Structure 1
Amino acid sequence: MGMRIRFGERQRLAVAAIAFTVSLLATVAGGLLRPSDAPAEPADGGAAATAAAPQAVKVDPRVIPVGIAYGDTLTWKSDKDLAAGLDDAVNTGSQWIRVDLSWNNIQPENNGRYEWHRFDRVVDAANARNLKVLATIAYTPAWARKSGCGSDPSCPPAKPEQFAAFAKAAAQRYAPKGVHTWEVWNEPNLPFWAPKPDPAGYTKLLDVTSKALRAADSKAFLLLGGLGAVGTDPSLGYVSQTEFLEAVCKLGANRMVDAISYHPYTYPYLPSAKTSFGTAMEQISSTKDNLVGVLAANGTPDLPVWLTETGAPTNGPGTATDGKNFGSETTHVTEEYQAQIAADTVPAAVANPHVGAVFWFADQDTGRDKDKQRRSLFYGLRHYDGRAKPALEAWKGAVTAYERTLAPASAPAGPPSTSAAG
């Protein structure tokens, strides 16, 4: 999702309304709806249903990265606000941050110059706080986009080799600063690969980019671009996460990376909820068609699944659900229920042995209360004006509780190839 929701918020709401209708029909057909057999919603949070109360989830002692995803916000903040944003990660016990390393920002002109200062500030401030950085490399400057794609930075580059050259330059600059974890693009199964997903085009970009990153950074740990949890819908330009993963695996993409990325927005369900239809979290490994099954069928059953975005919005068009009551206009959650989701996210992720990391999106809202036309603006642990939501303390509680389950003096570390470098 990131911070670049430009396409079809109105269309997503239409999908949400359809999903609610399906949920309600299932309720009528099945009698009283129980949390254990409630229908699932699209992972962008379209359908709402009765959600189970938070359940204690037994966590194992696996050590996985836990962090906060900031999208493309930190590079534009003042020094004061940048410090405040990263201090939230530190104060909640999160040891990682996920941030956009946007080609569009760094090389806006085709003049051979890179404006690295935009990202230098973020990396330096993170290092000062011992925070590890997951850099999402994406978004094309106007001069490098495919002809006719328009003004959207989500357009893929006309020449993938130019994108790979940027990625190589980024790795050469930031690997010495401790950045070794790279996510190649964001939600390529949605129109974040504009104007519509293209598994072959994305795999070609990943091929040349992965080679460039590894050539520049011997410790590089590479992630497939985070897959949005949606159903296939050609009218919206959506390809389901499993269908897209299957297509790129057939082209060898799973053998170009060290992990895949996934964005399981489960609201209005709790992340640990069990349903007959399968929530976005269940679609990792529990449903009939799941990500791990696709990986196994294509020869990489042990490839971990990094949850590089998950969360829930507290404002937007429509109405909010408290996890118990809902209607056809429900599109977001109350602040109190967002806190329940935040508290449930870490234990639910750790409980799945296929999950390799979990990141909450986002730290702070990017919209004011009057900006209700887009729920994408309201995923923060804080309001636009900096006031904390209950979810901030809930996330802190979940992270610190998880860390207490680890061995003494242990803390969430990096992937195997990067842990030594931090």
Structure 2
Amino acid sequence: MARKHRGRRRAVTWAALLVWLIGALTATQCARPQSPPALQVGLAYGDRLVWMSDRQLAAALDDAAAVGARWVRADLSWADIQPDSPHEYRWRLFDRVVRAASARGLHVLPVLAYTPSWARPVGCAADKCAPADPEAFAAFAGAAAQRYAPRGIHRWEVWNEPNIPVFWQPSPDPVAYTALLRATSLAVRRADPSAGVVLGGLATPPTAGQAISATDYLAAVLARGGGRFVDAVGYHPYTYPGLPSAATAPGMAWARIDRTQDSLHGLLAAHGSADTPVWITEFGAPTNGPGTASDGQTASDGQAVTHVTEERQAAIAADAVRTAHRTPYVRALIWYTERDLGTDRSSNENFFGLRRADGSAKPALGALRHAIAALRGA
């Protein structure tokens, strides 16, 4: 009997030692610094891809692949898909974009947005009008998820810059947007349980007039439970003529990701969503327009600084990749855009491209490509 008891004691001792060793190894592994998640990099095209010729589409997406992007962000406009009624879908143009992106190994982030005339509120005449019925918009979103999940699309951004009146008319309304976000998220996830939803990329004006700041808007959405329906928050922290890495002052857009008292991350944490990342779904710098250009060093000549030199754009592009990689809560950086929209200098909106309107490359094309390559080689 005594011998049997000693055997049991030895068995218990060895079992206890094994448990201790497993615990020590686990603790050691947990104590090791964890590598940050890989930064997802992409190019944003707005509504342009669907209207390009086959040759233009191929050239645009070839640029995305060549620069090292993994994502393309493109509008999937409800007004294009169901222009006449809720009973007919016209998927052909976006199908072509999806096929071309897939052939190059690119993921598509569709922006679900923009209202056909039959679905707008009475008296609102633009496609940027908020839908009269969130459930009708959600039905469109669910149909899109059902169609494109088998083709590899599992991430969806709900609207673009809903906090400014340019894109949410007649005026921004976080209550109405939260209702739209909830209905859309539920419909997309019913169609594709693996889907992820990105809160529509927020612009960065102060709260004034009809515009609502990104932080005030996000706070209102989160207060109404909107955080439960998203996997990431879209944000558009344009910093030009400054570099993202230098944007530490409280008023700078990049700082509001996680460095200010009312930061996006702070708001998410306060509402129980500290693990929700930020996706920068637009970022860039224009190289022409009215006013004067900045090289980041020289003072303006008395005119308003509305754009940067091409060399400064290249510096901003490279710095954005490095800074996004170092910003803990940022998981995606999507550059706007691949090519200038035109040559009309009355608006700087025409000059955000990595290429000029004639197709010639700006220095930023190579700078962005080299920065992405260096990031992946690190």
TM-score, normalized by length of structure 1? 0.79
Please list, as runs of the form range in 1=range in 2, the aligned pairs for 1:221-232 lying within 5 A after superposition.
Answer: 221-232=196-207
Contact 2:248 2:259 in 1 (8 A): no
* Structure 2 counterpart of 1:279: 252
* Structure 1 counterpart of 2:108: 133
Q: Which residue identity does 1:272 align to in structure 2?
A: S
Q: Which residue identity does 1:154 align to in structure 2?
A: K
Gaps in structure 2 of 5+ consecutive residues: 1-34
**Deviating 4+ runs (over 3 angstroms):** 274-278
Question: Aligned pair count?
Answer: 342
Contact 2:84 2:118 in 1 (8 A): yes
Contact 1:269 1:279 in 2 (8 A): no
| SS of equivalent residue, structure 1 residue 185 | strand
Contact 1:66 1:94 in 2 (8 A): yes
Q: Please say if 1:200 is aligned against 2:175.
A: yes
Q: Which residue identity does 1:364 align to in structure 2?
A: R
Q: Which residue identity does 2:67 align to in structure 1?
A: T
Listed one character per residue, the Cα deviations across residues 223-256 of structure 1 (whole Å, up to 9, x for unaligned) are: 001000111111xx21000000000000011111
Q: Please say if 1:66 is aligned against 2:48.
A: no
Contact 2:119 2:132 in 1 (8 A): yes
CA distance in 1, matches of 2:47, 2:214: 23
* Structure 1 counterpart of 2:322: 347
Contact 2:248 2:254 in 1 (8 A): no
Q: Please say if 1:76 is aligned against 2:28.
A: no
| SS of equivalent residue, structure 2 residue 282 | coil
Q: Single out whichever of 241-250 and 296-305 deviates more from structure 2.
A: 296-305
* Structure 1 counterpart of 2:211: 238
1:398 is aligned, of 365, 371, 374, to 371
Contact 2:39 2:324 in 1 (8 A): no
* Structure 1 counterpart of 2:146: 172
Q: Compute the displacement of 1:275 (Å).
A: 3.7
CA distance in 1, matches of 2:99, 2:150: 12
* Structure-2 change in CA distance of 1:265 and 1:112 (3 Å): same
Higher helix share: 2
| SS of equivalent residue, structure 1 residue 190 | coil
Listed one character per residue, the Cα deviations across residues 145-186 of structure 1 (whole Å, up to 9, x for unaligned) are: 111112x21101111111001001101111100000000011
Contact 2:202 2:236 in 1 (8 A): yes
* Structure-2 change in CA distance of 1:111 and 1:359 (3 Å): closer
* Structure 2 counterpart of 1:325: 298
Please list, as runs of the form range in 1=range in 2, the aligned pairs for 1:281-300 lying within 5 A after superposition.
Answer: 281-300=254-273
Contact 2:241 2:308 in 1 (8 A): yes
CA RMSD of aligned residues (A): 1.3
Q: Compute the displacement of 1:64 (Å).
A: 2.3
Q: Compute the displacement of 1:65 (Å).
A: 1.1
Q: Which residue identity does 1:166 align to in structure 2?
A: F
1:185 is aligned, of 159, 163, 166, to 159
* Structure 2 counterpart of 1:357: 332
Q: Please say if 1:163 is aligned against 2:163.
A: no
* Structure-2 change in CA distance of 1:308 and 1:111 (3 Å): closer
- Percent of residue pairs identical: 55
Q: Which residue identity does 2:64 align to in structure 1?
A: A
TM-score, normalized by length of structure 2? 0.88
Q: Please say if 1:120 is aligned against 2:95.
A: yes
CA distance in 2, matches of 1:169, 1:207: 16
Gaps in structure 1 of 5+ consecutive residues: 1-59, 406-422
| SS of equivalent residue, structure 1 residue 272 | helix
Larger Rg: 2
Q: Which residue identity does 1:379 align to in structure 2?
A: F
Contact 1:187 1:227 in 2 (8 A): yes
Contact 1:242 1:290 in 2 (8 A): yes
Q: Compute the displacement of 1:282 (Å).
A: 1.1
Listed one character per residue, the Cα deviations across residues 316-350 of structure 1 (whole Å, up to 9, x for unaligned) are: 11111011123351111111100000011111001
